[in-house]
Structure 1
Amino acid sequence: MDTTTIVLVLAAIVTVSIVIIVISQMRERARIERARKITAQEDAYNRAFRLLSEIPGQYLTADLKLVLIKRMEEACNELAGLKSGLPVKQWQDSATDLKKQVMEKRDTTVPVKIDSPEKSNYVKELLQNLFKMIEAMHKSGRIDAGTAKKNLRYVLFLVHKTHADLHVFQARDYVRQNQIRKAIHAYHLASTEMGKSRDNPLAMKAVKSFRTRIKELEAMSAEGKDGQYHESQSQLDREWDTFLHDDEWKKKADYDD
């Protein structure tokens, strides 16, 4: 074999080796990218499912539920295209069924009491994650500007309500212990929190309700009738506990009252 032939053979071997290495690298990069996309979409599905499952039921409107379900469906569609080994079909069927229940108003709502700072902070964290998710969906064109703006404003209102819920719970506890001044202060804090959502008529109605509670509590305390407060307290408490879903509150929630 002459020198030229040897050089050509070696060159061919080197070329083939380079091609094999390049192809291997491309396949590895494609594998890594596919794994990254699968992980990202799995995380997106799990985040949406977690928010739908763990945010207190009384906070989630039908619109918010549908936004979360939409994100779950999008993640499932991406995962189906990536042919992941995850139970995507099961997730898709579950999301479709849940969406139908929400649209037909057959889904269950489980209220959760905000009765500790830890629970208040945890719910606040969930709501902040929901806010970021809606923002990301808007930026990526998954939801329109009007839908995003409406839901983002409502989520901010819920963050304020979470803190107000805690203050109300504390105020009730103070009343039971006959610590009236502390109860009044807690109601003031609840009113301040709801006042941060001045663009929400329902929040303003809640502020007026808190002011009424404070005046009644102050008057009864001054007259030495603390024990008589409990009956009035009970009615006002029921209104607060249900005001997100109470049609009467919503009908009264305007700025002309």
Structure 2
Amino acid sequence: MTVIIVSVLLLVIGGFIAFAIYLQFKEQARLEKLRKIVALKNQLRQIRRYLDDIPPQYQPKDMRLWLFSRLLTHYDELIKLQPDATLSRRRKLTAEEMSELQTSKQKRRAKPINDELMVMDLKRLFDSFQLCIKQAEKEKTLDTEVVARYSNLLQFYKYKAKADLHAYIARQSFLSGNYEKAIASYKEALTQLAPIKGTAEAKTASKQLTSLINEVEEAQSGGGNDNGASSHAEQDSADSELTQEWDKFIDETEFKKKKHF
């Protein structure tokens, strides 16, 4: 009788222990699922910020398409863990955005870099984006060659953003007739590119800045020959020419290369 009682007690105790272990594993699985959901939502927010807050001139089309593809992948993973009508709707809208970008021939308009705080925020975004690219490389979801190209571009953009700020100041100075400040600001923009002057991207940007400096110097020289009394028509012509040079400067520093996913 005693043996039977002891056996029953052991079975009961063993059952409780097994049940406790089961509950523990179940809780761990629940917490792991929640952790993945939170991580995916954070990644979705961060990638959306890259798409929305990084100006078009710093987002080559293939890079932007890759970001959209990352969004769709994360939406799929999140919907699998947490089925939700809102998430499904957002995924559909994201897919439509990506499809529209793929078929669009229209170039997105460059955003002026006109504030020091904007430059600081962009540098933080570029650093964060760099980590995102490294994570994609670790997960083997992005080709090594593309990782290297995107990393080099982001490194270039960190310097170019500050150069663009000085170029913007220079252009505004030119349009207001302050040629000396315009020249000084363009030269400062060149200085900002000095640490990466050996790269092909920096060489292209520097060439454009040098061209703009020459334009301003020619305008300054022309104004001096007229004793500071240039006509309104001549000023409009100079402004238009410099505006075209500025647009060319922005356009030629965008990079259109083969898409990699």
Structures share fold, TM-score greater than 0.5: yes
| TM-score, L = length of structure 1 | 0.81
CA distance in 2, matches of 1:47, 1:17: 45
Q: Which position in structure 2 is the counterpart of 1:199? A: 199
Confirm or deny: 8 A CA contact 1:66 1:102 kept in the other structure.
Answer: yes
Confirm or deny: 8 A CA contact 2:209 2:249 kept in the other structure.
Answer: no
Confirm or deny: 8 A CA contact 2:110 2:250 kept in the other structure.
Answer: no
CA distance in 2, matches of 1:125, 1:80: 30
Confirm or deny: 8 A CA contact 2:122 2:161 kept in the other structure.
Answer: yes
Deviates more, 1:56-65 or 1:79-88: 79-88
Deviation at 1:41, TM superposition (A): 1.3
Q: Which position in structure 1 is the counterpart of 2:58? A: 59
Aligned-residue CA RMSD (Å): 2.9
CA distance in 2, matches of 1:210, 1:242: 10
Q: Which position in structure 1 is the counterpart of 2:238? A: 232
Tell me which amino acid in the other structure corresponds to 2:198.
R
Q: Which position in structure 1 is the counterpart of 2:94? A: 95
CA distance in 1, matches of 2:125, 2:247: 20
SS in 2 for 1:111: coil
Query: For 1:84-233, what aligned pairs fall within 5 Å after superposition?
Result: 84-85=83-84, 87-105=86-104, 109-175=108-174, 180-195=179-194, 196-201=196-201, 203-215=202-214, 217-218=216-217, 224=224, 231-232=237-238
Count of matched residue pairs:
247
* Alpha carbons of structure 1 residues 219 and 108: separation in structure 2 relative to 1, 3 Å: closer
CA distance in 2, matches of 1:61, 1:88: 27
Identical residues among aligned pairs (%): 25
Deviation at 1:112, TM superposition (A): 1.9
Structure of greater relative contact order (alpha carbons < 8 Å, 6+ residues apart): 2
Deviation at 1:148, TM superposition (A): 1.6
Tell me which amino acid in the other structure corresponds to 1:34.
K
Confirm or deny: 8 A CA contact 2:160 2:193 kept in the other structure.
Answer: yes
Deviation at 1:7, TM superposition (A): 2.0
Task: Tell me whether 1:7 sits opposite 2:13 in the alignment.
Answer: no
Deviation at 1:232, TM superposition (A): 3.2
CA distance in 2, matches of 1:233, 1:73: 44
Tell me which amino acid in the other structure corresponds to 2:5.
I
CA distance in 1, matches of 2:15, 2:26: 16
Deviates more, 1:88-97 or 1:221-230: 221-230
Q: Which position in structure 2 is the counterpart of 1:243? A: 249
Deviation at 1:97, TM superposition (A): 1.4
* Alpha carbons of structure 1 residues 57 and 111: separation in structure 2 relative to 1, 3 Å: same
Tell me which amino acid in the other structure corresponds to 1:150.
R
CA distance in 1, matches of 2:249, 2:113: 15
CA distance in 2, matches of 1:33, 1:108: 43
Confirm or deny: 8 A CA contact 1:115 1:166 kept in the other structure.
Answer: yes
Unaligned runs of 5+ in 1: 251-257
Unaligned runs of 5+ in 2: 256-261
Q: Which position in structure 1 is the counterpart of 2:258? A: none
Task: Tell me whether 1:74 sits opposite 2:76 in the alignment.
Answer: no
